[in-house]
Amino acid sequence: MTPVAERATAKPDRRRLAHLLRAAHSPLDPDGVADLVAGALAAPAEIGSSWHQLVADPTPPALAEALDELRDHMAAGYRDGLSREDFARLPRPARVARLREVMATRRLDGFIVPRADEYQGEYVPPAGQRLAWLTGFTGSAGLAVVLRDRAALFVDGRYTLQAAAQVDTALFEIRHLVDEPAWRWLAGAVAEGAVIGYDPWLHTPQEVERFHAGVERAGASLKPVANPVDEAWAGRPPAPLAPVVPHPDRYAGESAEAKRTRLGRGLAEEGAAAAVLTMPESIAWLLNIRGGDVPHTPLPLSFAILRRDGNVTLFIDRRKLAPGLDRHLGNAVTIEPPDRLGPALDELAKSGERVQVDPGTAASWIFDRLEHAGGRIHRAADPCLLPKACKNPVELDGTRAAHRRDGAAVTRFLSWLEREAPKGELAEIAASDRLEEFRRAGDHFRDLSFPTISGAGPNGAIVHYRAMPETERRLEPGNLYLLDSGAQYLDGTTDITRTIAIGQPSDEMRDHFTRVLRGHIALALARFPKGTTGSQLDAFARRALWEKGLDYDHGTGHGVGSYLSVHEGPQRISKAANTQPLLPGMIVSNEPGYYKTGAYGIRIENLVVVQPWNGAAERDMLCFETLTLAPIDRSLVARELLDEEEIAWLDAYHARVRETLTPLVDRDTVRWLATATQPIGT
C-alpha cells in the first residue's frame, strides 16, 4: 500500500491536529480546517498544497503532514457527481426525474438550465456544473430546457458531435443553439398558462428578455426562482477555496492603485458613482491578484464595487486570502463576505446616484436587486474590459518571453513526435501528456490554459474534442493529427494549434491544409485602418476556402489575456457582428480551419498582437505582429497553391522560428528544427 493510500484509509487524529494548529498560531480549529479542505477539494488539482498557507504561514512540516492526511482521508469519500462512477450510481434518467419532482413541488412546468454560474465565466467550478450533472454534456457552451414531459439540449456547431456522444437522446432532444435558439423552441413547446422557471444568477438580462419573449408568445410566463437543480443534486460540492495571491507589478506593468484611480476617474466622467464588477477576470486585472478557483484560468471567484474615488469593495471569502494580501490590496480596498453584496447594492441604490453595470456580462440578479431598491442603473460595458484588453509594454514583453519558452516546448514536442509516431503505438492522451511535460519544465509555468485538444484522424474533425480513454485513437500513418494547446505562465498566456501529417498525407489533405494556411497568412499580413473591427477582417481568413466551396463553423480569432483568460473580450475576429475596433496592444488568435466529419480536422493557430503600421499611408493604419513561434508542417503545404508573397511569409516566419528557438532547445531538436524550417522550395 502506498503512503497516500495509507493516509486515505486512516482516520486523522483530531486531537493531534488541534494541537498542531495551536502551535502554529493558526486561526482555524479542526472543523474550520475540514471546511477549508472541502473547498480545496472542489478547486482544481493544480493548486496542489498551496492551500496550506491558508491554514498557517509558515506551515510547520508536522502540520503540513497532518493537513495532507486529512485531505487524503476526505478525498477518498469526495464525490462531485460528475464522474462516470457518479453517473453509474445515479443515472441520467434518475437525475432528470429528481429535477422534475422538485419542479412539481414548486409548481413549475419547466426550468432552464444553462452552462453558467453566477460569474458568467467560461470555466465553471464543480458546484456550478449543473448542466453537466443533469445531462452529462461537458462542453463550454450549452443550455437545457426541462419540461414535464420533454427536454432539449441546445449546443452550437462546435459541440453537435460531442453532445450526441455524451447525452442520452432518449431524455434530451439535441438542438442547434444558433439555428433554433432555446427561447424560440420554448415558444412552440410550452402550453398556454405554463410557468417556466429560471435562476436569475445564471442569466444576463439580455438572455432573460429573449426567454420572456419566447414564453409570452406561447401565452406562458417566466418566473425567477431559487435553482431547483441545487435541491435535486444531493451532495453538491461546496464553492472552491484556492489561495488568492498578489500578481507582481513586474508582470502587470501597472500598479493596482494606478488602475483604480484611472478607472475611477473614468466613472466620474461618465456620471456614475460606482461600477459593479461581476467578471473575476476584471477583478483580478484591476487589483493585480490571481487565484485558482477554476481550471486553467487563475481567477479568484469574487464580485467587486469600484467607486469613482478609486476605492473598491471586494466581496470574497476571506479564507481564500493568502498571507500578506491585505497589505498588497491596501487601505483603499475593503473586504466583505459574498453575502454582503446584496445589502451593498441596496445602499448604492438608495444613494440616488447612477450605478454602472454591464448587461452583457452581469447576472440578471444584480439588475433585479438594484431596480427593486430604486437604483438608477447605467447600462454600460465593464470599465475594465478595454484597459485589460490593450496590453501595456510590460505585458507585451512578458507575453513575447512566454511565447519563446512555449515555442521551445512545442518544438521539442514536434521533434519527439516525428521520432515516436512512426512506431504506431502513440495515442492521443500520451501525446498531449508528453507536450505538457515539456511545458512544465519551462520557467514561470503555472498551468495549461485550456484542456488540450489532441485529435487524430476523425477525432480532429470534432472542433472542441477532448480525448478520453474510451474515445482516443492512435496516431496512424495516413492520418492528420490536430493539436490545439496552450499554457499559463506568470508573464503571459499562450494558445497554439498545429496540424501534423502522420506519414504521407493525401492530395486532398494537402490542398485543404494549404487553403487554411493561405487564410492564416492573409490575416497575418493584413493592414487595416484604425477603427476596423474583427468582423471586417474575418473574410481574409476564409477566402481561399470559399474559392473551393469550403468553410468552417467557428470564429477566426478570440482575444487572449495576460496570465488570465485564454478567451478574452471584447475583441474577436468572426463572421458574427462585432462593433469593437481592434486597438493597439490587443492580443487575438489567428486560427482558420477546415473539418471533414469522420475523416480529419485542420487548424493553424498563432497568436498575434495589434500594432501601429509605420508605412506611408494617408490614414492611421494597424497591422499584426505574430507572437507564436513553432514550425508549420511543410509536408502538408502544396507549394503550387501559394503565391510569391505567401511563400515569402512562410519562409520568413520559419527563419524567425529557427533563429529564436535554436538557442532554447536540445541538440536533437536543433537538428530537427533546421530541417523543419527550411525554405518551402527546398
204-231, pLDDT tens digit by residue? 999 999 999 999 999 999 999 999 999 9
pLDDT of 177? 85
Q: Are 12 and 37 in contact (CB under 8 A)?
A: no
Kindly state the DSSP code that residue 11 receives in the 8-state scheme: P
Span 25-50, mean pLDDT? 96
Residue 628, pLDDT > 60, answer yes
Question: First vs last Cα of the chain: how many Å apart?
Answer: 58
C-alpha cell at 677: 524550417
The length of the chain in residues reads 682
- Give a yes or no: residue 575 inside a domain: yes
Per-residue pLDDT reduced to its tens digit, 326-352: 999 999 999 999 999 999 999 999 999
What span, in angstroms and rounded, lies between the C-alpha atoms of 226 and 482? 42
- Give a yes or no: residue 571 inside a domain: yes
C-alpha cell at 621: 493604419
Residues 94 and 220 in one domain: yes
Residues 577 and 616 in one domain: yes
pLDDT of 44? 95
Residue with cell 470574497: 316
396 closest CA partner among 609, 575, 598 = 609
Indicate the residue type of 290. Answer: R
What span, in angstroms and rounded, lies between the C-alpha atoms of 393 and 383? 20
- Give a yes or no: residue 661 inside a domain: no
Reply yes or no: is the peptide bond before residue 58 cis, omega within 30 of 0.
Answer: yes
What span, in angstroms and rounded, lies between the C-alpha atoms of 218 and 206? 19
Q: What is the DSSP string of 321-347?
A: BPTTHHHHH-TTEEEE-GGGHHHHHHH
Q: Are 134 and 96 in contact (CB under 8 A)?
A: yes
Per-residue pLDDT reduced to its tens digit, 584-622: 999 999 999 999 999 999 999 999 999 999 988 889 999
Q: Are 276 and 366 in contact (CB under 8 A)?
A: yes
CATH for 512:
3.90.230.10
Q: How many domains does the chain have?
A: 4
Q: Are 182 and 141 in contact (CB under 8 A)?
A: no
Residues 100 and 62 in one domain: no
What span, in angstroms and rounded, lies between the C-alpha atoms of 581 and 562? 20
Domain that holds residue 304: 245-389
What span, in angstroms and rounded, lies between the C-alpha atoms of 250 and 169? 52
CATH for 310:
3.40.350.10
Q: Decide which of 76, 108, 130 is a domain's last residue.
A: 76
- Give a yes or no: residue 416 inside a domain: no
Span 427-448, mean pLDDT? 97
Question: What three-state secondary structure class fits 580?
Answer: coil
The pLDDT > 90 percentage for the chain reads 90
SS (H, E, C) 285-301: HHHCEECCCECCECCCC
pLDDT of 3? 43
Residue 530, pLDDT > 60, answer yes
Contacts of 27 (CB under 8 A, 6+ apart): none
Residues 129 and 260 in one domain: no
- Give a yes or no: residue 443 inside a domain: yes
Residues 40 and 137 in one domain: no
Q: Decide which of 44, 76, 108 is a domain's last residue.
A: 76
Q: Decide which of 340, 374, 389 is a domain's last residue.
A: 389
Span 115-122, mean pLDDT? 93
Kindly state the DSSP code that residue 136 receives in the 8-state scheme: -
What span, in angstroms and rounded, lies between the C-alpha atoms of 215 and 572? 32
pLDDT of 10? 63
Residues 213 and 256 in one domain: no
Burial readout 118-151 (b: 16 or more C-beta within 10 A, e: otherwise): bbbbbbbbbbbbbbbbbbbbbbebbbbbbbeeeb
- Give a yes or no: residue 328 inside a domain: yes
Beta pairing partners, 625: 609
- Give a yes or no: residue 671 inside a domain: no
- Give a yes or no: residue 452 inside a domain: yes
The per-residue pLDDT of the chain, averaged, comes to: 95
pLDDT of 1? 38
478 closest CA partner among 497, 460, 454 = 460
Residues 590 and 623 in one domain: yes
Residues 71 and 89 in one domain: no
Reply yes or no: is the peptide bond before residue 27 cis, omega within 30 of 0.
Answer: no
Span 179-193, mean pLDDT? 92
Residues 119 and 152 in one domain: yes
Residues 259 and 291 in one domain: yes
Residues 110 and 174 in one domain: yes
Model confidence at 5, pLDDT cuts 50, 70, 90, reads very low
Span 561-568, mean pLDDT? 97
Residues 350 and 284 in one domain: yes
